[in-house]
């Protein structure tokens, strides 16, 4: 399929279909080969060190969802 035909097909999709397609494309990526900027690596290292220093500060998924739901209008 050529790029123009692919683009035309994508533009005709509904929003839900586009989201599904994005999910399929994302799931097909080889995450080991994705580029990660040095700034992102530095931030991830900082967050990991912070967690290692105080692991009890982390939230469970249930705690996080409770906080998110509490802030919804």
Sequence spans of domains, the chain: 1-30, 35-73
DSSP class per residue in 15-39: HHHHHHHHHHHHHHS-GGGS---HH
Tokens of 27: 């799931």
pLDDT greater than 70 at residue 1? no
Average pLDDT over residues 5-15: 95
What are 26-63's pLDDT values in tens digits? Answer: 999 998 888 999 999 999 999 999 999 999 999 999 99
């Amino acid at each position: 399929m050529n790029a123009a035909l692919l683009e035309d097909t994508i533009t005709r999709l509904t929003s839900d279909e586009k989201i599904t397609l994005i999910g399929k494309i994302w799931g097909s990526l080889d995450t080991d080969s994705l580029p990660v900027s040095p700034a992102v690596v530095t931030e991830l290292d900082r967050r990991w060190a912070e967690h290692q220093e105080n692991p009890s500060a982390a939230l469970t998924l249930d705690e996080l969802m409770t906080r998110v739901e509490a802030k919804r209008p």
